[in-house]
Structure 1
């Protein structure tokens, strides 16, 4: 009798469980759907971002450096990579953000070197070297990283209202500051290192490549610009006799041109160590001689000295 009671309860329990499960399946659309559609969502395929290619280019080969590219608007890092040999480097930027300003930083390490095209050997190099990318306006989508680009960066810092002794905030630099700084620097340096077609020199591509590739007839403008640009390195090597001419020339021009004038002088309050590219003219302390003609006369000897030696170095 007891076993029969247990059997009856078990059957009753199983019957109720089956009834509840059937009701649940019907409520959840069990079996087949009257609409014939699956409840599984269709996977979405992400649309790949459209990008535009750009090339970063140095006038001389740099070895074992860290390359970073920032969106200068918010200082976010877009590229951060180690480069064993930097002469040209291709990057991709979002095609929907080509109206933005981007900042390039090349940072050296203990093993970093730079090719010296004057003496055909590698020299040690240290420091951080800058350039700005303006995607909407740069020539042939190629941005040089050069002594001129570093001078433009330093001049743009001042143009943005920051003083040399301040902690620099790059995001305060806007496109207008870079445009004006570029005008200042290229005017002072006669557009040295501006031409993006200037070759990147290395042991495999020395300055004689200009003749081998017939630049004088095929690209005469680049031919002249190349000799002028590398003439600054020859000038530095001749006048200052440095073993790291590229580093010292870059530092000298960038520090000197913070005020927009190549005069061998630093801004007041600037504690940067600098070897001037030439001995500066005496300061004009006579207010009576504060005229265009007197200022020109005061600077004549210095300018003539620089022009004569730069011409000799270029030719």
Structure 2
């Protein structure tokens, strides 16, 4: 078949690799086998300049491995891994959608148009401008030095970092709107960080700004950013945070779960319908301003840590302030 016609044929078949446990199947009609394949003691090897389409399953234990200069298929084709192991063999592979519902992707670099991860592990480097979305109730473990710049979003389940693992580019956005982002004791960097629901826990997170609406932060927030609490829900801070910017509470409730959950020398603004609930934990701030509400719960709030006068015209309830 002429090369141009063969390329159109391969595009029309919409080759979709699927790994089910240790099974490789394709949703495709058989393509011309221009590469030579032969069975060996270690498995089946294919060597040649062209693509190979497998029209029947590969059964047994193990997985699928690529070796240079092998490719997974068309650069815009979808890749779905639902079990077993996809070993990239140290190569760089470019695909379209990457969906992980089980199993492992390892040993190389993967560039996708979007990453939909639900369960399993990625021990390869994810790169490119695509976003990574954690969906579903399962756990996905990241152990590669990822540098995706399209941002990370956690909708459900657990996204777990392990030592050596990285969320992505240090200036990429991070959104947690359900489930758990478990930093695994690591230090991670991001651009803007948004938490609307769910939990960020177990490590240190640096951001250019922290926008909280609801949920729980059980990690240390650090970096040059400020923290803004908006919306109508309650967000809880369970660690002594060290971010360099101001703290603004403009809506809903920001609740402390530890003494000095807010950086002790930074400005604090509580305004509008915003509520700062110290929940009985002592807090020192640089200055207090605004017209919102501060609920002490029996704790002591100390201002003036920055040497700046406080101008607060809101409600201060509880027992102690200084």
TM-score class, shorter-chain normalisation, is under 0.3
- Whichever structure has more helix as a proportion of its residues is 1
TM-score, normalising length: structure 2: 0.23
Kindly indicate whether structure 1 or structure 2 has the higher relative contact order, using CA contacts under 8 Å at least 6 residues apart: 1
- Whichever structure has more strand as a proportion of its residues is 2
Q: Which has the larger radius of gyration?
A: 1
